[in-house]
Amino acid sequence: MTSRFDEGVAHLHRYVAVHGTSSPRQRDVIDGFPIGRWVNTRRTDYRRGVLPAERIAQLESEFPDWRWKTNARTSFAAGLTHLRRYAAAHGTGNARRHDVIDGFPIGTWVASRRAEYRAGQMPPEHVRQIEAEFPDWQWTLRTRAPFHVGLDHLHSYAAAHGTSSPPRHATIDGFPIGAWVAKRRTEYRRHRLSSDRITQIETEFPDWQWN
C-alpha cells in the first residue's frame, strides 16, 4: 500500500513536470492533491527534527532544487535567473504566457510579476532590479497585445487541434482565432504584414499556410 509520503512525492514529481520547480505555493494543488500544504508540512517536520533521515535524503536526491526553507526572495531570484537565460536566448525580457526556458514556466512567471506590479504588491527593489536588468521590459503590453495575444491563442488552438489552420468561425477560449488567422493572411497578400511577423509565424507554426 502506498504511504502518504510516497503519494506526496509522486504528486510533487507531477508538479515539477508542469511548473519546473519543487517549491509550490501553499495553496497549490496538482491532480486534486494539496501539494503546497504537503511540501510545507515536510519542511515543518524537518525544522522540528521529526522527518526521518531516509526521507530527507530521498527529497534531496529526487528534487535537485529542493529547499528546506523558502521565501518570496528566493522564488523571485530563481525566476530572475531564468529570465536572464530567456533574454540571452530570445533577445527580450518580455516572455509570452506559454514560454518555457530550461523547463521553467518563464511566461507564467513574467505574467505573475506584472499582475503583482499592477496590484501594487511588488517590492520596490524588485521593480528596480527588473527595469535595470531588462531595458525593454514592459509592465503592460498594450502596444503589442493584438498580434501577440493572437499568437498565444493560436498556440493554444494548435495544441488542442494539431493544426495552425483553423476554420474561419473557430474560437479558442472565447478568442476568434479563425478570424485572426484570416486577417493575417489578408495582410500578407496585401503586403501589409511586416517581415519579422511573417518570420515569427512561419517559425513558430511549421504547418502554417498563407493560402
* Judgement on whether residues 161 and 96 belong to the same structural domain of the protein: no
- Domains in the chain, number: 2
Amino acid, res. 93: G
* Judgement on whether residues 170 and 116 belong to the same structural domain of the protein: no
* Judgement on whether residues 149 and 124 belong to the same structural domain of the protein: no
| 115-136 confidence digits (pLDDT tens) | 888 878 788 888 999 999 998 8
* Judgement on whether residues 42 and 91 belong to the same structural domain of the protein: yes
Q: How far is residue 211's CA from residue 203's CA, in Å, rounded to a whole number?
A: 17
| Banded pLDDT at 2 (limits 50, 70, 90) | low
Q: Which domain holds residue 125?
A: 2-131
* Judgement on whether residues 50 and 109 belong to the same structural domain of the protein: yes
| Banded pLDDT at 33 (limits 50, 70, 90) | very high
| Banded pLDDT at 141 (limits 50, 70, 90) | low
| 42-93 confidence digits (pLDDT tens) | 988 888 888 888 999 899 889 888 888 765 555 688 788 889 999 888 888 9
* Judgement on whether residues 87 and 188 belong to the same structural domain of the protein: no
* Judgement on whether residues 84 and 182 belong to the same structural domain of the protein: no
